[in-house]
Amino acid sequence: MRPDFRTPRIFLDQPLQSGAGIALSRDQMNYLLNVMRLAPGSAVLVFNGREGEWRAHLAVASKREASLTIDVQTRLQPTTTGPEYAFAPLKHARLDYMVQKAVELGVSRLVPVLTQHTQVARVNLDRMRANVIEAAEQCGVLSIAAVVEPQPFERWLREFPAGRALVFCDEGSESASPIEALCAHAAEKICVLVGPEGGFSDEERRNLLAKAGVIRLSLGPRILRADTAAVAALTLVQSVLGDWRGR
């Protein structure tokens, strides 16, 4: 069933059940009353990342106080878990974009890894988490992707769990069909890895290609920006191995 994209949707980190009254934060109130200009009684869709999607209606007490009354569940919480996405963090706007696109494409976890050529040393996790929620609200995504602490690439690779396929987007690979490369693997758990604008170092590439379970992916004969590569790689993975297969 296609989500309802006409009714405004907000994330509420609260238990959701019929009849529950939930007070709105100032930001949520501003969004619903002033940005969406909703009248009292208007329908709002709410989700908490655990219990699916519910329809609620707006109860406005005053200019400064409003709440939602939860009415009925409209969608079940999905049971499928999307791929992980590991990436060298980028600078602000490109990172915002990349995080939002990864959420729209159904990733379950965002793993910033600090490679040798990564341009940024610090990552604003709150900003990333806010982007995850914003993308989920806008696109009807009901699972809230986890955002984990940045970690040094070498440690991340050393601790990478056996049994999880590592889709290594390698700008240094010969041009070869990504579809064929992915079809050769029926992996259940997948992690997609995209490097920094400066690319992977030779040492990183050697260590990656030496690791069992790595799928070397070419994203065509041209070099893509990292945020473009994220969209291309996740599109391929979801189409060949993920939940774009329509089952």
What are the residues binding ligand SAH (CB under 6 A)?
169-171, 194-195, 197-200, 217-220, 223-224, 226, 229
Beta bridge partners of 72: 55
Q: Helix crossing, 92-104 with 226-240: angle to 10°?
A: 10
Nearer to ligand SAH, 191 or 229 (CB): 229
Spell out the residues 6+ positions from residue 228 whose beta carbon is closer than 8 angstroms to its own.
Answer: none
What are the CA-CA distances from residue 204 to residues 87, 162, 199, 210 (Å)?
Answer: 13, 18, 10, 10
| β 214-217/164-169 pair status | parallel
CA angle 131, 91, 219 (to 5 degrees): 85
Distance CA 36, CA 30 (A): 9
- Selection from 82, 85, 81, 111 nearest residue 166 by Cα: 85
User: What residue spans of the chain are helical by DSSP H?
Assistant: 26-29, 92-104, 125-139, 153-158, 178-183, 202-209, 226-240
Q: Which is nearer to ligand SAH, 24 or 86 (CB)?
A: 86
| Least gap, CB of 127 to ligand SAH (angstroms) | 21
Query: Angle CA(226)–CA(232)–CA(236) in degrees, nearest 5?
Result: 140
**CB 172, min distance to ligand SAH, A:** 7
Whether the Cβ atoms of residue 38 and residue 44 lie closer than 8 Å to each other: yes
147 or 192: CB nearest ligand SAH: 192
Q: How far is CA 129 from CA 12, 96, 111, 148, 216, in A?
A: 14, 10, 12, 10, 29
- Closest contact distance (angstroms) between CB of 221 and ligand SAH is 7
Residue nearest to ligand SAH (CB): 195
